[in-house]
Amino acid sequence: MSAEQESIFIGIEIEEPAASDPELARKLEEVCPVSIFEATDSGTEIIASRLDECVLCGLCVEAAPAGAVTIVKKYEG
């Protein structure tokens, strides 16, 4: 199962096996300026209540293996 949490404006999806990688989880927790990711022993938790704080900086996408993290914009313009 992939780690996916949705909110009103932004959805973030982390594909397996990246979502269950504790090392990547720590990296994501470190890079995100608005603390959307929380590292646990079993991988990355996405804090749903913080998703709309995402500033679309792309640091999480860069920190993860290619294609592992996807940010979905749920609005136009």
Size of the site for ligand SF4 (CB under 6 A): 14
Sheet of strand 3-6: strand arrangement: 3-6, 10-14, 69-73
Joined together, the tokens standing for residue 38 give 């929380």
Rounding to the nearest 10 degrees, give the CA dihedral for residues 10, 70, 61, 22: 100
Binding to ligand SF4 by residue 34, rule CB under 6 A?
Answer: yes
Candidate list 2, 33, 40, 52; residue touching ligand SF4; CB under 6 A:
33
Q: Of the ranges 1-9, 13-21, 51-59, which one interacts with ligand SF4 (CB under 6 A)?
A: 51-59
Binding to ligand SF4 by residue 32, rule CB under 6 A?
Answer: yes
